[in-house]
Amino acid sequence: MPVFYGTTVDSALMLGTAGYPSPKVLADAFARSGAGVATVSLRRESGGGQDFWALIQSLGVTLLPNTAGCHTAREAVTTARMAREVFGTDWIKLEVVGNTDTLQPDLFGLVEAARILSAEGFKVFPYCTEDLVVCERLLEAGCQVLMPWGAPIGSGLGLNNPHGLRALRAAFPDVALVVDAGIGLPSHAAAAMEMGFDAVLLNSAVARAGDPAAMAGAMAAAIRAGREACLADPMERTDMAVPSTPVIGRAFL
């Protein structure tokens, strides 16, 4: 099970709470997913009122508020402080949007906000890219978890830069790493876990599926399979065929 800031969570699947057709569908999806963490936006909670807050509490999972929709470090820091008061947790998924088309994070603002929030006692989960230099700066700022994107949020493209993600895993073997954003299929989630990532965070792939609960179950199974495959020490790839049946002992006619 993944460990974040000294806390063990029950599942490597982290699931978002936005965009579901109805509260019942959301609840059913979480029940099928077995997710260990639910991400929730302060703005979403504010819009949903007490009914939405009661639903989130009923899920029985660890909450990870986020700063979705923030475009500056200052806005993200203010939102994080408000989220801590509303949700009663110092965990925060830090998002600082730098590009409105791709929703790529503003890496400069992200590092600035991470440094401020870490100094205030927040346990920061920064939504970042797979850039090694930026990730090093985030760790120096006090982050103990990194959440690189697989692809742009909501795109369903999967892992756009598998080489970069593998390099990140190799560069920081002792840091908790979560692939966040862009996951569209269970195979994408399994691939991330096979690389050795600690968890996968997704939302749209489940919320926008024709049957969100079924997709949530499929994602959970894929994540378990990917993790078990990683631990099994997969065979090395080769450029040439390797016979599965040895020639030694074979009859020659």
DSSP conformation class of 69: T
- Residue 190 labeled ligand binder: no
The whole-angstrom separation of Cα 209 and Cα 154 is 12
Q: Is 244 annotated as a binding residue?
A: no
The gap from C-alpha 250 to its chain's centroid, in whole angstroms, comes to 50
Q: Is 138 helix (H, G, I), strand (E, B) or coil?
A: helix
Q: Is 93 a catalytic residue?
A: yes
Closest CA to 45 of 36, 54, 32, 37: 54
Q: Which of 32, 44, 84, 93 is catalytic?
A: 93
Which of 53, 29, 43, 128 minimizes the C-alpha distance to 80? 43
Q: Is 203 annotated as a binding residue?
A: yes
Query: What Cα–Cα distance (Å) separates residue 229 from each residue in 15, 69, 194, 225?
Result: 22, 36, 6, 6
Q: Which amino acids are annotated as binding site for 1-deoxy-D-xylulose 5-phosphate, given as ranges?
A: 154, 181-182, 203-204
Give catalytic residues, as residue numbers.
93
Q: Which amino acids are annotated as binding site, given as ranges?
A: 154, 181-182, 203-204
